Structure 1
Amino acid sequence: MADPRLNRGGEAPLLAVRNVTLAFGPKVIQHDLSFDVRRGSIFALMGGSGCGKSTVLKSLIGLLRPRAGRILVDSEDYWAASEARRTAIGRRFGVLFQSGALWSSLTVGENVALPLQMFTRLPATAIRRLVELKLALVGMEHAIDQFPSDISGGMKKRAGLARALAMDPDVLFFDEPSAGLDPITSSRLDDLILNLRDGLGATIVIVSHELPSLFAIADDGIFLDAQTRTAIAHGAPAALRDTCPDPQVEAFMRRERPEALAATGASPKGVSQ
């Protein structure tokens, strides 16, 4: 039977993970991971605390070499490539870290300009225009000369997103983008992410345990389990909530404890008693 985690259509996936094991010393974080990220999709890495979501993200963006397996970018094996080639591939990535990760000593505009200054030979005037454009995309053009300490948490997330967009990446990686935000600000950030996907055609990989955001924006994903240390479900978050037969996944998606579901006598979706 074909593995439902893998793309069997005509177009090759932008990212392909094949039999990947991630570990720190003797401790295995996740093993035998295989999944595809389709172009133009918003792909979620889901699961409870400590399951390894951020560790998987680190491997995808080139910060952690897998113990085993392959990570393919446009069918090219990232970790088998030379260091120079990995650097070139990495320039196709944009990353929004959980806290925004802005340099406190730089203005918002200087933070966004940093990748352009490091990786291009554009003159300062051209970089300034690009910074203004990227900040306008996220509604932050008014804050170009402000420092991170002068703006709110939601604005810091948007500024970090503008920096992630600086090099016109093919893939955007978001690590808990809604963490620490109030519901209204989080909803606005979700709308912004959808607009960027639709307007720029970007592919997005998101780490999150914020269910409203996952249901609102993600159209595919995997559920990582901390006990078995592998992926136990694959699909859009809303579909997993309604049809996944695994009680751990159903409990997570419905914010209930597995034993509470069992106490009600309810069967996992798709499984008869």
Structure 2
Amino acid sequence: MERDATSQATQTLPTDEVLLSLRDITIGYGSKIIQQNVSMDVKRGSIFAIMGGSGCGKSTILRSMIGLLRPKSGGYTVDGDDYWTGPDSHRTALNRRFGVLFQSGALWSSMTVGENVSLPLEMFTRLDKTMTRNLVELKLGFVGLSHAIDLYPSEISGGMRKRAGLARAMALDPDILFFDEPSAGLDPITSARLDDLILSLRDGLGATIVIVSHELPSLFAIADDGIFLDAQTKTPIAHGAPRDLRAHCTDPQVHAFMNREAYTEASPAEPATKGPITNGH
């Protein structure tokens, strides 16, 4: 049964202030184009979802937003600053505002959970060991993992590794968080608990969150805006909150995705009718 989290997802409404902005981004690898003409605004305090079927380029867009892949063309600003213009030191300073949770948690297997979380603090601050340990305990306590500080990743469950990865993403108190498929591979109860944790980050700490996901219960529960990418045309075909897209978007592919229905691409002789980008609001 789908969780009714409408009240949760609107506890803290995003402001009208745009924090992250992509304009006509084209991105790919070598000569291969993954997505083109991507434009989107992420408002401060929002949870913004990048949605679409497998292979549409969701994670590739996220990689570009965190500085791992330079777009072929287009503009990207962070709080009004052009991300890709200027020296590497400029991007490094902007990256300090980012926290990233990768699909697997991406913990170092040879380090304890506590050592994984302390790594950003040791790399980017001059805190002494006592203060670093205190901050690590604080971050792990926030995600409910105080007891796992001296355990290795192999000694904890998949859901716990995701939460440990989240604690590490929060280590430097970033105001912008990027999550790549945070619920992938988790059972429904663990996934729901992670959704609640993500909401608490937004509501309690004022973080702005960009999330890549195809997990519909999570999308409906936490996201208040989003973009839907199409793998065939390599362009966005819808904008809006997932719940609004489910209720109002007339694009057949988006409708099928949001309602867990089968979608069959039309043959060249009988092209599917696709409307313009639809705003679900």
TM-score using structure 2 length: 0.88
Q: What's 1:171 paired with?
A: 176
TM-aligned CA deviation for residue 259 of structure 1? 4.5
In structure 2, how many angstroms separate the alpha carbons of the residues matched to 1:214 and 1:242? 14
Q: What's 1:109 paired with?
A: 114
Q: What's 2:59 paired with?
A: 54
TM-aligned CA deviation for residue 11 of structure 1? 4.7
Task: String of CA shifts for 1:106-160, please: whole Å, max 9, x gaps.
Answer: 0000000000000001111110000000001101111101110100000000000
- Consecutive aligned runs of 4 or more in structure 1 exceeding 6 Å deviation: none
Which of 138, 159, 165 in structure 2 is aligned with 1:160?
165
TM-aligned CA deviation for residue 26 of structure 1? 1.3
Residues 1-273 of structure 1 mapped to structure 2, 5 A cutoff: 11-259=16-264
Q: What's 1:263 paired with?
A: none
In structure 2, how many angstroms separate the alpha carbons of the residues matched to 1:23 and 1:110? 35
In structure 2, how many angstroms separate the alpha carbons of the residues matched to 1:140 and 1:82? 38
In structure 2, how many angstroms separate the alpha carbons of the residues matched to 1:160 and 1:168? 14
Kindly, what percent of the aligned residue pairs are identical? Answer: 71
What amino acid maps onto 2:202 in structure 1? R
Task: String of CA shifts for 1:165-216, please: whole Å, max 9, x gaps.
Answer: 0000010000000000001100110011101110000000000000000000
TM-aligned CA deviation for residue 10 of structure 1? 8.8
Alignment partner of 2:39: what SS? strand
In structure 2, how many angstroms separate the alpha carbons of the residues matched to 1:132 and 1:171? 21
In structure 2, how many angstroms separate the alpha carbons of the residues matched to 1:125 and 1:70? 42
In structure 2, how many angstroms separate the alpha carbons of the residues matched to 1:259 and 1:202? 38
Alignment partner of 1:15: what SS? strand
Q: What's 1:6 paired with?
A: none
In structure 1, how many angstroms separate the alpha carbons of the residues matched to 2:64 and 2:214? 19
Task: String of CA shifts for 1:25-76, please: whole Å, max 9, x gaps.
Answer: 1111000111100011000000000000000000000000000001100111
In structure 1, how many angstroms separate the alpha carbons of the residues matched to 2:86 and 2:239? 28
TM-aligned CA deviation for residue 258 of structure 1? 2.9
Task: String of CA shifts for 1:221-265, please: whole Å, max 9, x gaps.
Answer: 0000001101100000010001001011000111112359xxxxx
Mark the CA change 1:205 to 1:109 in structure 2 (over 3 Å): closer, same or farther.
Answer: same
What amino acid maps onto 1:52 in structure 2? G
Unaligned runs of 5+ in 1: 1-8, 261-267
Unaligned runs of 5+ in 2: 1-13, 266-274
**Contact 1:12–1:74 (8 Å) recurs in 2:** no
In structure 2, how many angstroms separate the alpha carbons of the residues matched to 1:96 and 1:259? 33
Mark the CA change 1:74 to 1:83 in structure 2 (over 3 Å): closer, same or farther.
Answer: same
What amino acid maps onto 1:157 in structure 2? K
What amino acid maps onto 1:160 in structure 2? G
**Contact 1:15–1:37 (8 Å) recurs in 2:** yes
